[in-house]
Every structure is written in C-alpha cells, then in structure tokens.
Amino acid sequence: MSLIVDGQSAEHVTRILFQDFSGWMIFSFYVVAFTAIAVFAYGCYIQIRKYHRGTTSATHSGLAGFRRMLADMLTHRGIKRRDRPAGKAHAYIFFGFTLLFIGTSTITLQYDILHPLLGIRFWYGTFYLLFSLTLDIAGLWLIAGLLYMMYRRKWLAPPKLNYKRPDRSEADPDYTRRDYRIEDWTFLWALIIIAMTGFLLEAARLVWLQTDPSVWDYRWWSPVGAAVAYGLKAAGVGPAAGAALRMWLWWGHGLIALVFIALIPYTKVKHILTAMVSLSLRDDKPAARLPTADLDANRIGYSKITDFSRRYLWQVDACTKCGRCHEACPAKATGYPLSPRDLVLSIREFSHTNLERYALPADEDLTVLGRGLHQVRAETLWACRTCAACVEICPVGIEHVPMIVEMRRALVDKGDMDPAVQTALQNIQNKGNSFGENKRKRAAWTKKLDFPIKDARKEAVDVLWFVGDFASFDPRYQKVSQAFARVLHAAGVDFGILYEAEMNAGNDVRRVGEEGLYEHLAEANIAALAECEFKHIVTTDPHSYNTLKNEYPQFGGVYNVEHASSMIQRMLETGVIKLSGKLDRRVTFHDPCHLGRLNNGYDAPRDALNRIGAELVEMDRSRDNSFCCGAGGGRIWTPDPIELQKPAENRMQEAAAIEGLEVFVVSCPKCMNMFEDAVKSTGNEQKIAVRELIELVDACMQAGTEQPFSHDVPETA
C-alpha cells in the first residue's frame, strides 16, 4: 500500500542527509564520526582486555542462556519486579533508545554501505514515512522515561539510590561516591538533550522546507516534529531562519550523539552491552550450587582481582546501581556493614583502577581484600548471610553470593575469621558436627520415641532421613525430629537414618569458605550413603537439602532428595496422613532461604497448612522476597553485636503487625533457633508461638502417646 500523494514521486519523499552541505562539511563529519567509532572501539578493546585478565571458569551460556537474556530484555520482567514504575520507565527508555539506534543504523546502512557500494536505496516513500512515525513515537518514549527517572531521583529520592556506604565512615574517600551521582545525571541529561535536539532538528527542517510538497505534505508522519514546527512558525521562524537553525542543530545533535557513542565503553552506558553478556552467562543456580575450588593451588579463593573469573568481571560492569539488592539485603536492613551493590561497585572500581592499565601493576597492588581505597573489607564479607536475596532480585544477573564465598575462601585460607566460626569448623572437623558433641549422641533423641527407627546402614529402607546437626543436637529442634518420626511412623513410611555415620552435610561450611572441609564432609557422607540401600532421601533441614540436591552431584553423589515439607504435603494430599483434628489458628509462614529462594519450595508448606485447617496470612515479604532469619552463611555460629538489630527480630516485628496472629510457622531448624530467640527479644512471646510445620501436622494427627507441645502452644480444634 502506497502512502504517497497521487502525482508525487515516492523517491522524492525522503530526507537528504547532507542537504546543502559543502564538501568540507561532509568530510569533517566523517572525520568526527570515524574518530568517535575509533574511540568506542578502543574502549571496547580495553574492557575486553580487562575481562581476559581474569581467570577462565565454567560458563552457563549456550542457546538457553541467550534465549533467557532475550526474554529478560524484551519483557523487562527483572527490572519491573518490586518497582513497576521504574521498570516501566526503563522500558520506555530502552525501547525508545533501541528503536532510535536501529533507525540511525538503518540510515547509515543505506547512505554509507548499500547505496555507494551496490546502488541500493530503500529509505524513501512509504518505508520512509512509517520509519519517521516509528522514530517519533520512540523519541517520545525515550523522553517520557527519562523525565520520570529524573523526577524519581530528584523528588522521590528512594533510599536505595543513596550511594552512602554502610561499610565506610564519612572520613573514607569512597564513602558517598559523589562521582556516581554526577555520572547518573549526566547520562540522563545527555540522552534527553539528544532526543529533544532530534525533535527540534526535525521541526527546523520542516520549517525550512515548508514550500516543498514532498516534505510539508507529509509533515504529520513526524507528528512531534510537525507540532514543534508549528510552534516555531508561531514564534516567527521562517524558512531562512529555519535553515540556519537546522544547520546548527544538525551539528549540535550529531556531535552530542557521536560523543555519547564514543564514551559508551568508559561510562555507565556500557551496561547496555555488559548486562546482555551477564544475563547470557549467568548460572541458573548461582547460590544453590557454588563453584568448586582447586585445593592444590597456591592460593584458594579470590584474594587478587586477577583471581576473579571473567564472567564475574563482566557482571560487576553490568551493575546499574539500581539498589534492588541493597534494599533486599537483610544485613544492610539491620545495620551490618554490607550492601551487595556497594560490594559489587568496590570490585568494579578496583578492577577499573588496576586492570584497565596497559600493563598490570605489581602483584601486591592487585590484592582486592583489605582496607584501602576500593578494597573489600573482611567485616563486609562476614556480614553476608548467603541468603541470595541480592542474586534473586538483580535484574542484570549478577552472582553476588559466589563472589562473596570465593573471597571468604581466601580469608579462611589466611585464618582471617571470627573465633566462633573457627571453633565451629574445628568441631565439625573433629566431631562431624558443629556442636562438638560425640557422634555417638547423634541419634540420642530417638530414645524418647516408643518405636525404633531403622539403621539404614544395616537394612534397606524406602526413605533415608538425613537428619542434620541441629535436628540431632539442638534440644528445641529434637522435639521436631521426634514429631517427624511420629508422622512418618503413623503414615506407615519405611524409613531409617544413618545414626553416627552421618556427618554435617557441609552447606554452611562451604558458604563460610572452608572448601577443603566441605569436600571432606561431602565425600564422607557420599561414602556412607553408598553403603545404604534406599529409594530417596528426605531431610527437615533446607541447608542439608540444598547441598545434597545441588552440590553433592559435583562429587558423584546423585540422589532423589526431598524436603520434609513437600513429603508431608504429598502425604496429606493423597490421604496417607490421617488427621484427627484441625489447626483452627491464624498463622503466617516464613520461607527459609534455602528451601524457597534457592529451590523454589514455596507451595508445599502453604498447601500443607491449608490442609490442616490453618488460616494462613502472608507477611509483606514472602516467597522470593522472604526476609532471611540471619542464620545462613555460618552466621548462626557468630554472635551478633548487641547494638544491632538481628534480622530475625526485624522479621518477627513484621509478623507481629499481622492482626490476630497466633503462630509463626517455620520449616527449618536454623530458622527455629533464630525466631525462638527473636519472639522473646521483641516482646511477642506471650502473643505468638513459633512452631515447625511438622509439629503442627503431628498435633493434628494426635500421633504418639505424648503431645509434642507445652501448654502455651496452640491446641487443635
């Protein structure tokens, strides 16, 4: 279908790029353009050289990674999460900028490649008119998104966009990172000036050529430019003035755009490229399945910037400073010296300072761990709970947790750790458990049951229950273990345990950074399991569940592993579990990080609660946005400073805001430990009972001769 007026030539309906330009002007433009391209190319070379100064590592790219990146980019699903206005504004900017870039590239394709080399022209007639309309719409999108982002930064001023660091003091030169704010505003203003001068240029051309029917008759195919042109005419701008204005705007708009392109590799604008690489290469289980380490290497972990894998160096450059991880981090929220964003920016700044040089500095200057400018401090790393809230929310696929663990490995290798962590690791090394108890006591809790539990080392079982340290030795959680045994026994499940052959599964040992001990534990448990005959493994501990399921396969231990909550849900659904009563109570459920965020185990515990008759009310932060109890990453072994709020206390206060809440339900022994303390320290002990899902199911079954609850626990209806 032709959109050209009868009697007019379609080939005349176009825009002559260098109309009325002298030869020296055209030559000058190409000199500037090729200079900008050369500066851009050299910047790309510097960045790629920087990345290749990192180490090689297993990547997770391929076609699946590329498809995932495209889906993220086209849907903006990651950027819209938990901040839809900013996500929508970014989509306007992204798609507007992308269409304008494609439009500019299309013009270049015809003018500089196809027409001079092959005589091919296509940028005229109907195609040109649709092209003009599309780019006007794209320009409006771009300006709308930019204006909202300006409004958001200046007037809404969300705390997550404040770059003051929790791991620095005001005396430190990198405390406020003022340069980032300048860069952010420069980026916004540069783009909006490019977009607005583009519309002004379009309007000036229309005014200049208003007597040319092949231009003026089609003005409304550039609706924004036409509207501005009428404004210029109303202001008294005629064809001659329009021609002069057009010339000035042509050069101004063009030079700003070319400078913008030239500076892409040197500024935050490069996230346009690095984010795509980061999303393509990211691991699909970055926190659930940590990388292995070469224990025979001269040094373990990341102590120098050149130890970082190339993938991680790409990722830190992809950071847009959006603050989503900063906002989600439980350590940051409760006053600890950690912000995942600031950590990533420190690594990026250190990388820029040292790896972008022509020659690498002295080896000692490459140490990324320390208290100097842009270095990462030990207390920052030890504040992390490895809960993966940062990883889960990052819209550009940054893997904070593996990087933190790699740097912890370097600290552990030097013996730089809290004495309490060192004691726990020594206990695990010597006794096989973090409590330092004799391994013969691991199954002592079974003696209070009125039925025996099979020894899976001696006879075949359908279900091998990997109990875990806290479920075996913690007095409070021993009651949960007894309740789970009653549930399984009453349901007729053929199950057994490893007794003293079981050792700590090692999930937290690995996240502390003691990879050597972790591998010893994994190999010992795999050897013990190899001597047993079973169909699948169940565990009440999400930490053990995660490492058995996701990390033991790295060492040859491939099993069908299930968390107790999903097993209970399935037995309730199929009627294997028989209920004698209902839990007529208002409850809320806390998602354990290792069950929920790391393994998507959100639905089973909720369905189980519904099936036993509980009234489930969600906290504001639930499912993938659950707020960590604070125990992960070895923090359960480390005393918290008394002047700081514990993450579990922050969470309990959130739960206490639910009107009429009676039971705070957990499904993890470490969560149980943390929240039992928090319900007391927040003054909610008389109002809210902390209970395990298993205990509630056991109560509703009325299994066993002794009720598992004391007087203050909700009774069954």
SS3 label, residue 465: strand
Q: Which domains does the chain have, with CATH numbers?
A: 61-163+175-277 (no CATH), 302-413 (1.10.1060), 421-701 (no CATH)
In this model, does residue 352 exceed pLDDT 80?
yes
Which is nearest to 461 in space by CA: 472, 450, 453? 453
Distance between CA 273 and CA 259 in Å, rounded?
Answer: 17
Q: C-alpha distances in angstroms, 216 versus 195, 220, 344? A: 22, 9, 53
What's the pLDDT score for residue 694? 97
Q: What is the mean pLDDT of residues 65-70?
A: 91
What's the pLDDT score for residue 5? 84
In this model, does residue 655 exceed pLDDT 70?
yes
pLDDT digit string, tens, across residues 467-509: 999 999 999 999 999 999 999 999 999 999 999 999 999 999 9
Q: In the 8-state DSSP scheme, what is residue 634?
A: T
What's the pLDDT score for residue 650? 97
Which is nearest to 515 in space by CA: 280, 296, 331? 296
Q: What is the mean pLDDT of residues 217-229?
A: 96
pTM above 0.85, yes or no: yes
Contact (CB, 8 A) for 508 and 636: yes
Which is nearest to 256 in space by CA: 181, 195, 183? 195
Which is nearest to 517 in space by CA: 422, 378, 638? 422
In this model, does residue 157 exceed pLDDT 70?
yes
Q: What is the mean pLDDT of residues 360-373?
A: 93
pLDDT digit string, tens, across residues 382-393: 999 999 999 999
Q: What is the mean pLDDT of residues 10-28?
A: 93
In this model, does residue 321 exceed pLDDT 90?
yes
Backbone dihedral angles phi then psi of residue 516, each to the nearest 5 degrees: -60, -45
What's the pLDDT score for residue 63? 86
pLDDT digit string, tens, across residues 502-551: 999 999 999 999 999 999 999 999 999 999 999 999 999 999 999 999 99
Q: What is the mean pLDDT of residues 420-440?
A: 96
In this model, does residue 716 exceed pLDDT 50?
no
Give every CB contact of residue 364 below 8 A, 6+ residues apart in sequence: none
Give every CB contact of residue 128 below 8 A, 6+ residues apart in sequence: 13, 14, 15
Q: Angle, to 10 degrees, between the axis of helix 239-263 and the axis of helix 178-208?
A: 150
pLDDT digit string, tens, across residues 553-575: 999 999 999 999 999 999 999 99
What's the pLDDT score for residue 8? 86
User: How many angstroms from the chain centroid is the CA of residue 688?
Assistant: 32
Mean pLDDT score across all residues of the chain = 94
Distance between CA 352 and CA 371 in Å, rounded?
Answer: 18
pLDDT band at 704 (very low <50, low <70, confident <90, very high): very low
Backbone dihedral angles phi then psi of residue 309, each to the nearest 5 degrees: -70, 155
SS3 label, residue 682: coil
More confident of the two residues 610 and 702: 610
Contact (CB, 8 A) for 703 and 486: yes
Q: C-alpha distances in angstroms, 372 versus 364, 411, 594? A: 12, 16, 34
Q: In the 8-state DSSP scheme, what is residue 307?
A: G
- Identity at 313, one-letter amino acid code: L
Q: Could you tell me which residues are beta bridge partners of residue 304?
A: 367
What's the pLDDT score for residue 10? 87
* Calculated CA dihedral for residues 677, 683, 685, 686, nearest 10 degrees: 170
